[in-house]
Amino acid sequence: MVLQRLQGPRIFVESGKELVHEDQNQHSAYVLCSGWAYSYKGLRDGQRQIIDIQMAGDLLGIRSLLLKTSDQSIVALTDVEVRKISTERLSDVFRSAPRVALALLWAVSKDEAMLVEHLVSLGKRDAAMRTVHMLLELGARAEIVGLGTPEGFSCPISQSILADSLGITPIHLNRVLRQLRESKLLVFKDGLVTFIDRRKLIELFEMDFAYLNQNTAAERL
Amino acid sequence: MVLQRLQGPRIFVESGKELVHEDQNQHSAYVLCSGWAYSYKGLRDGQRQIIDIQMAGDLLGIRSLLLKTSDQSIVALTDVEVRKISTERLSDVFRSAPRVALALLWAVSKDEAMLVEHLVSLGKRDAAMRTVHMLLELGARAEIVGLGTPEGFSCPISQSILADSLGITPIHLNRVLRQLRESKLLVFKDGLVTFIDRRKLIELFEMDFAYLNQNTAAERL
DNA sequence: CGCGCTCTTGACTAGGGTCAAGTGCAGTGG
DNA sequence: CCACTGCACTTGACCCTAGTCAAGAGCGCG
């Protein structure tokens, strides 16, 4: 834990509350200690696209740390515990602790790799592929931080939030989930994802999770 | 130009050649001095999703600089001139020149901001909106580096490449372009994009390009 | 008990994909 | 100079995935 000096005190945020709002240009980043959160971008017509979904160990808001326009909101999906990363004297820290700089750069890069994968999903995969990919990825990440097993994981996401992340309507997502359930591939019910036939899911959807590294950002830092 | 010491000699790459291939795990980044390039991810079924399109002044491959799995390819769209950024002794450089670390982090963040915008397009906008958004963004970026005016810019991209970037088929892109042409909004012909009614385009598609900063990455570094 | 969630399902519609054919070059070779 | 090939672009006809509209079910909560 190289980054101790950057971290502020624990902060608790209730489920549903916004940690960061689109318009505010106070740039703060957080380490997510427990719970789930998501970040999204709103469109003027009231729609929103969810950018990514984070769980314990992930960094929140690094993306817009250095940018003038922090145009994303971050919302707690469950009750959440975070620690603020003070960014005021980032250049001081970089000077005195170059390894922190490296770790931060690495964290941002990994974040971006996931974004790219998400982009490919939205661009080239159909609704079922996207859904399976997303759920398997979340499962793999949950497993890495000890929140899941190869058989499944607890997933506190509503269908409409998942749909907003996948770029499809909640209604269509529901249909897709039904098909997956009826084909005995996976079940998503009561906030619990169960992979019935994981092998088949992976080969059917040609998944590759090499971009998920075994280290979490928090461990690195 | 803080980053002089990181830059290698000029390299010239012909149009169509790959600078970086998906599988190679030699992680190199480049500054694009002149010409256009794009990076993409291939799927096993032969499809590809284009991640982003770069022009002079942009950084190529920073995304995967620190990652084990550099799973994207980078291809020259035109004849291209690049300078390699040596990444071997990145941590040495960070130690002796903290400002470089800051600049790199900033560059990656900006890269990611564009990715997010692209993600939103694929998730929530229809084909026409995506197309207009992409072309206006490319135009704005071209203008920043002196390659275009508010009236238009030279855009050496084939329709099929643009389509792969927008997540639609070339055929449908063609239809969309026809509509835009017939509505006297913009024309894309012979590698030249002309905005006929820029004001209308922007308001029609509710565009906001705040995330495009006036500084190019190369200038920063 | 009733309100407001999320989830579910059906019927219909439309945006965009697929298939297929054709045009207009630039390059090459006879 | 004129086929011949290949590539980027066009366009039309048809079809399917996913969106829209509408209604209902199950459930936690004041």
Nearest CA in chain A to B204: A44
Q: Do domains A2-96 and A115-219 have the same CATH topology?
A: no
Q: Binning pLDDT at 50, 70 and 90, where does residue B1 land?
A: very low
Neighbours of A3 (CB within 10 A): 20
What does the alpha-carbon distance between residue B131 and residue B38 come to, in Å, rounded to a whole number? 17
Percentage of the residues of chain A whose pLDDT score is greater than 90: 59
Q: Tell me what pLDDT residue A215 has.
A: 60
Q: Binning pLDDT at 50, 70 and 90, where does residue B215 land?
A: low
What tokens appear for A207 in the block?
A: 């998944």
Domain A115-219 coded CATH 1.10.10.10: yes
Residues 6+ apart with CB under 8 A from A132: A180, A185, A186, A201, A204, A205, A207
What does the alpha-carbon distance between residue A121 and residue A133 come to, in Å, rounded to a whole number? 8
Question: In this structure, are residues B176 and B159 in contact, taking their beta carbons and an 8 Å threshold?
Answer: no
Provide the β-strand partners of residue A11. A82
Specify the range with the lowest mean pLDDT, choosing from A162-171, A206-215, B25-34, B180-189.
A206-215
Q: Does A112 sit within 8 Å of B99, measured CB to CB? A: no
Q: Does B122 sit within 8 Å of A102, measured CB to CB? A: no
Q: Tell me what pLDDT residue B58 has.
A: 92
* Distance between the alpha carbon (CA) of A190 and the C1' atom of D28, Å: 14
What does the alpha-carbon distance between residue B62 and residue B29 come to, in Å, rounded to a whole number? 5
- Cα B10 from chain centre: 20
- Those nucleotides of strand C lying less than 7 Å from any protein Cβ are 5-11, 15-20
Q: Does B49 sit within 8 Å of A123, measured CB to CB? A: yes
Q: Does A49 sit within 8 Å of B119, measured CB to CB? A: yes
**Nearest residue to D18 (CA, C1')?**
A172
A45: amino acid identity, one letter: D
Assess whether pLDDT exceeds 90 at residue A210.
Answer: no
What predicted TM-score, i.e. pTM, was given to this entire model? Answer: 0.91
What does the alpha-carbon distance between residue B133 and residue B118 come to, in Å, rounded to a whole number? 9
Specify the range with the lowest mean pLDDT, choosing from A179-193, A202-216, B23-37, B40-54.
A202-216
What tokens appear for B10 in the block?
A: 């000029």
CA angle in degrees (0–180, nearest 5) for B39-B155-B71: 0
Q: Give residue A54's region: left, alpha or beta (phi > 0; psi -120 to 50).
A: beta
Specify the range with the lowest mean pLDDT, choosing from A64-73, A137-146, B71-80, B123-132.
A64-73
The pLDDT tens digits for B62-107 are 887 778 776 789 999 999 999 988 777 777 888 888 888 888 888 8
Query: What DSSP line would sit under A138-160, residue for residue?
Result: HHHHHHHTTSEETTEEE----HH
Nearest CA in chain A to B123: A167
Provide the β-strand partners of residue A189. A192
What tokens appear for B167 in the block?
A: 């997540």
Q: Tell me what pLDDT residue A1 has.
A: 47
The pLDDT tens digits for A91-132 are 788 888 888 888 888 888 888 999 999 999 999 999 999 999
Assess whether pLDDT exceeds 70 at residue B25.
Answer: no
Q: Mean pLDDT throughout B5-23?
A: 83
The architecture (CATH level 2) of B2-96 comes to: Sandwich (2.60)
Q: Binning pLDDT at 50, 70 and 90, where does residue A208 land?
A: low
Q: Domain segments of chain B: what residues?
A: 2-96, 115-219
Question: Which residue do the tokens 């500054």 mark?
Answer: B31
Q: How far is B188 from chain A (nearest CA, A)?
A: 22
Nearest CA in chain A to B101: A101
Assess whether pLDDT exceeds 60 at residue B169.
Answer: yes
Question: In this structure, are residues B139 and B213 in contact, taking their beta carbons and an 8 Å threshold?
Answer: no
Percentage of the residues of chain B whose pLDDT score is greater than 90: 59
Output b/e per residue, A37-73; b: 16+ Cβ within 10 A: bbbbbbeeeeebbbbbbbbbbbbbbbbbbbbebbbbb
Closest CA to A34 of A213, A156, A160: A156
If you average pLDDT over each of A15-24, A71-80, B25-34, B200-209, which comes out highest? A71-80
What does the alpha-carbon distance between residue B176 and residue B186 come to, in Å, rounded to a whole number? 11
The pLDDT tens digits for B108-117 are 888 899 999 9
Specify the range with the lowest mean pLDDT, choosing from A185-194, B1-10, B115-124.
B1-10
The pLDDT tens digits for A153-173 are 999 999 999 999 999 999 999
Neighbours of B12 (CB within 10 A): 13
Provide the β-strand partners of residue B193. B153, B188
Q: Tell me what pLDDT residue B9 has.
A: 84
Q: Tell me what pLDDT residue B180 has.
A: 95
What does the alpha-carbon distance between residue A160 and residue A103 come to, in Å, rounded to a whole number? 34
What does the alpha-carbon distance between residue B106 and residue B150 come to, in Å, rounded to a whole number? 27
Q: Tell me what pLDDT residue A217 has.
A: 55
Q: How far is B216 from chain A (nearest CA, A)?
A: 13
The pLDDT tens digits for A52-82 are 999 999 999 888 777 876 678 999 999 999 9
